[in-house]
Chains A and B, each alone.
Chain A
């Protein structure tokens, strides 16, 4: 099946730890994105990547890092510098071939304990 796979679905992090959220897509999409969603707020862009080996900061990049070594993969690392990491994280990719539609993965819930 084609789609965007995020893992893990649920993750608990201790204070001071870095954690990495995985995002893999087999849709052959060039552009990929990471969003954060908090209750009562709209989705906010963390990082995006238009092509392999290139990525750009979004609106709330502080405390996060990404890499784009392969077209299919866009992992997000939540570092200890991110002071309020508890949130729902969504990975997405862009399909330019069918009307520029952005598709989302199932999301990852990160909780700091």
Chain B
């Protein structure tokens, strides 16, 4: 089967750093996505990792370890607008035909 685990909810303070973890057990691996989703809105693309290591994009970074089936999303200098759900998704079969999504981590940033 396909399984992706993320914490359900996290809280952090404005200006801080938060790390959202994602572990996966899938039939194959051809890349991992992170999306941000504000309540009632569509997910927006944050990052895509296919090789091990860290990808940095401004305040957001994403890390992947394929041998451990593990990824994390790192958010720096948190802002109130970062309060959202963060979805981890894996492409197990290649061709992006059937992404498997985790249930998402709801992040609440407080002043």
Interface residues in chain A, defined as those with a beta carbon under 8 Å from any beta carbon in chain B: 31, 35, 40-45, 48, 50, 56, 58-59, 88, 90, 94, 99-107
Contact = CB atoms under 8 A, between A and B. Distances in A.
B96 A102 contact: yes
Contact of B97 (A42, A56, A107): A56
Interface of B: 4, 31, 33, 35, 40-45, 48, 87, 89, 95-104
Contacts, number: 53
B45 A94 contact: no
Contact of A104 (B31, B44, B97, B100): B44
Nearest to B50: A100
B62 to A, nearest CB: 13
Given A48-B97, A100-B96, A106 B87 contact: no
Contacts of B4: 42
Nearest to B2: A59
B42 A105 contact: yes
B49 to A, nearest CB: 11
The 9 A-B pairs with the shortest beta carbon distances in the complex, nearest first, are A42-B101, A104-B42, A43-B101, A42-B103, A107-B42, A104-B43, A106-B42, A101-B45, A42-B102
